[in-house]
Each structure stands twice: as structure tokens, then as C-alpha cells.
Amino acid sequence: MQIEQTATTDLIPYVSNSRTHSEGQVAQIAASIKEFGFNNPVLVDKEKGIIAGHGRVLAARKLGMDKVPTVELSHLTETQRKAYIIADNKLALNADWDMEMLSLEMGGLDQEGFDLSLIGFNEDELGELAENLPTDGADEIHAKLSDLFGVPPFSVLNAREGWWQDRKRAWLSLGIKSEEGRGEDLLAFSHLEAKFGNRGGAESTSVFDPVLSELIYRWFSAEGSVVIDPFAGGSVRGIVAAKLKREYIGYDLSGVQVEANIEQAGRICENVTPAWVNADSATLDSAEIEADLVFTCPPYAGLEVYSDDPKDLSTMPYDKFVEVYRDIINKACAKLKPDRFAAIVVGEVRNKDGGYYNFVGDTIQAFKDAGLVYYNEMILVTAVGSLPIRAGRYFKAGRKIGKTHQNILVFVKGDPKKATRSAGKINFVDHIERAELEGSGENFPTIKKDAA
């Protein structure tokens, strides 16, 4: 085993650590280090995640130490790593525990077939832990992840859930009307609605989801971050960014759209105001901007045609569209600071022969060619709306499957760990309360912890 000096800022605490450290304990450890030196290396995994030594790292940071000695335990499996964290903490005298978290961790190890007696708990202690373990551990873990991150950070996000829909209504109740400034019936559903009625509240113009915006901002940027959006469209991403104390700069070719967005922001936003630039995104390279996050949703080729302006991407044949699109992505990513994230929402689009263009693949390649690493992929399951009307007709005619999702692609420029630190701690709570919104001095979405 080799001892290395590792920056304390590079060490990542275990998010499910059941051992707790009071301020008094950390102060005692800090006093010991000050008197005798840092003589017990921190044990870490290959990603610099802390396995043993959480208290020592807290004490080192309290003392202002830039580096501490570490030993990498790269030979441990994931299950062994989790078990070792608990076993090492069990050896400590007078250890304080988060019993609920400990029960969940031990229950997970038990399900994985790990011999719990190896960790150091006797039968009575294991019995007590079993009593504390919820009947449905998976549901409890899901709820804890939701408490921490809004929704569990899984690859599928379900916008149909009651929590999501409640939160969306709360955002929209601020007065967000993203459809303002856009042409009507861009998706051309009117003929279907005339025949079958508007079932499920289908929208004839696509509107961006404010809850998705909130998740991306909270997960991949910190308060005070500068967000650049080269395909701004409606007002949602800008207003949500401002409410979450991010500085938003969105580019849009439509003066009518920009004017509508600014008017809405003037009514809704107070302390932080989003900015929309009425210009071609191809001129981004001339702007003096340093962004902390690129977040956007481009035109889906010619699925929605927004204007007759020849510079409008939605008017272009796909080959030309992709050429200009790639150039804009490259220019936006050039404005992104090193060690930062970029996120984009896209979906596949069919050509006139019915086949997909591979728009998602072209988007991934565009970001990779701009020097970013393809880092995360998520699927957003969207509301059905008028899909049942369309799906039966299209499937019968050509076996085309009804599409109820969009792709959320996340990229990183530089070091993912440094980008994570730049994004800061995720500050998420569970529910927007309308009454609190109205009583808030800055009209900011305050959250209550008692809603699931």
C-alpha cells in the first residue's frame, strides 16, 4: 500500500455514511492532529471517495489543511467497500450513528448476501437494526433520495408522477406562459382535435417543463452561475433560472418571442432577471460571456416551424440544419468554462420517408467534437396528451410507435470531479407552497419538507 498526499477538496464523503460526527468530536480530532500530527492515513477508493477517515478529513478542513495522507483500497468490491465503511466505524469507541441510515445500509448488504457478522455487530445489535429497517427498504431509500435530490437521480425521470405535476402547477402559477410569443398550432394537431376533441389537455405548441429546468439547474450548477442558452425559445428556462438565483442569457431569433419573455420576467422576477438576446446564435462567438452551464433545447429539425426567416433552423433541410446546429453548439461550448457541465433536451425526428434522422446521435457527436465528454443520459417520460389519438392512426398506417419521451443528454467539459465541485451542494427540498410564494418578499419558490 502506498501513501499519497491528496488535496482535501478532492476527497468525497460517502453519501450514505451512517456514522455521524458532532462538532465536539471533530474538535477533539482536530486537537489531536494539531498536537501529534496527521498519523493515520485516510482510506479512499480509486475515485477518492472516503472509505475510512470522514472525521479526520472534517478535522483537517477545520485546521485549514490543504492535503492529507491517503491510501487507495482499489481491490475492494462495491459490497466490500460498503461493509468496510460500517466495520471500520464499528471499531470506534462511543461512535454515534444515524440508526435509520445504518439499518438501510445493513439491510442492503444483507440482501446482497454479505455476512453481517464480519462487520462487528453481535446478534442483539443486528436484531435491533432489523427492527429499525422499514418493511419496504427500496421505497424508503427512494424517498431519501427524493429528499436529497428532488427525485432519485436515475436514468428515467417520470413527468407523469403526481409530485412532478403538482410542482409544475406551482411553477406555472407564478404566471409563466411559455407559449406567449409563439405561433399557434406549431405541432399541427388542430385537425385531430376538431375531429376527436382535445383529450388530456394536449398542447398544440410545445412548452418546456419548468420542473426539468429546476432539476438541471440544481443538479449541475450552483447559485450565482451564468447559464447560456443558445436556443432560448419561450420563457421557462430563463424564469426558472432567475428564481433559482442563476444568471441566464438566452439567444433567440424572434423579436416577438424575446419581447414576450422579457414582459413575463418583468412581472415574475425580482432580485435576478433573466436576459434574452434577440440575435442569431451563430453570432455567439462575438459575445463576451463565460458560462458555468450550457442548458438548452433546440428546434427538433422541422418538426415545429417557428418563422419564415432563412436563418431560422426550423426552416432548413436537415443536412443544412445539422451543419448550422453543430456550429452553434461548438460556439456555445467555447463560452463554457473548464470543468463545467452542459445539458440539452432532444428527441428523434422522422424524415419525409418515416425514418429517424438520428438527431440524438448527431447531437452527441456535435458536443464531442466541441471537446466535451458524453457523461449522462436520461429519459424524460412525458404526458400522453393527444398521443392516443395520433398513435392509433400512425401505427395502423405504418407501424410507427407513439413516442412518449425525450432524451436529456449531459456533457462535461474537463474534469467531472471538479465540475461537480463547481456545481456545489444540491439544495433541494420537496414542495413549492403557493401561499408561501405569495408571502415571500422576493417571490421565490419556497419549499416545504412535509410533502412527498
Alpha-carbon gap, residue 182 to 185, rounded angstroms = 9
Give the CA diameter of the chain: 82
pLDDT over 80 (residue 307)? no
CATH for 149-439, among 3.30.70.260, 3.40.50.720, 3.30.530.20, 3.40.50.150?
3.40.50.150
What pLDDT does 304 receive? Answer: 61
Lowest mean pLDDT among 58-62, 196-200, 448-452: 448-452
Angle at 251 between CA 248 and CA 253, to 5 degrees: 155
What pLDDT does 198 receive? Answer: 42
What pLDDT does 431 receive? Answer: 37
Residue ranges of domains in the chain:
3-133, 149-439
pLDDT over 90 (residue 264)? yes
pLDDT over 50 (residue 285)? yes
Alpha-carbon gap, residue 144 to 141, rounded angstroms = 5
Q: Fill in the DSSP letter of residue 374.
A: E
Residues ≥6 apart with Cβ < 8 Å to 420 = none
pLDDT over 80 (residue 366)? yes
Burial of 317: CB neighbours in 10 Å, binned 0-12, 13-18, 19+: exposed
pLDDT digits (tens, 9 = 90+) for 168-201: 998 999 999 877 766 544 444 343 344 334 444 4
What pLDDT does 17 receive? Answer: 81
Residues ≥6 apart with Cβ < 8 Å to 449 = 147, 429, 430, 431
pLDDT over 70 (residue 450)? no
- pLDDT bin (cut points 50, 70, 90) of residue 276 is very high
3-state secondary structure at position 305 = coil
- HSE on the CB side for 165, CA within 13 Å? 6
Same CATH topology for 3-133 and 149-439: the answer is no
3-state secondary structure at position 358 = coil
pLDDT over 90 (residue 260)? yes
What pLDDT does 133 receive? Answer: 58
pLDDT over 70 (residue 131)? no
Instruction: Round the average pLDDT of the chain to a whole number and report it.
Output: 81
pLDDT digits (tens, 9 = 90+) for 76-130: 888 888 888 888 877 665 567 677 677 777 777 776 777 776 666 666 777 766 6
Q: Which CATH class is domain 3-133?
A: alpha beta
What pLDDT does 379 receive? Answer: 94
For 72, the enclosing helix (H) or strand (E) is strand 67-72
- pLDDT bin (cut points 50, 70, 90) of residue 425 is confident
What pLDDT does 230 receive? Answer: 96
Alpha-carbon gap, residue 212 to 223, rounded angstroms = 17
Q: Fill in the DSSP letter of residue 316.
A: S
What pLDDT does 190 receive? Answer: 40
- pLDDT bin (cut points 50, 70, 90) of residue 430 is very low
Region 202-218: mean pLDDT is 79
292 near 214, Cβ under 8 Å?
A: no
What pLDDT does 142 receive? Answer: 64
pLDDT over 50 (residue 359)? yes
pLDDT over 90 (residue 443)? no
pLDDT over 60 (residue 381)? yes
422 near 442, Cβ under 8 Å?
A: no
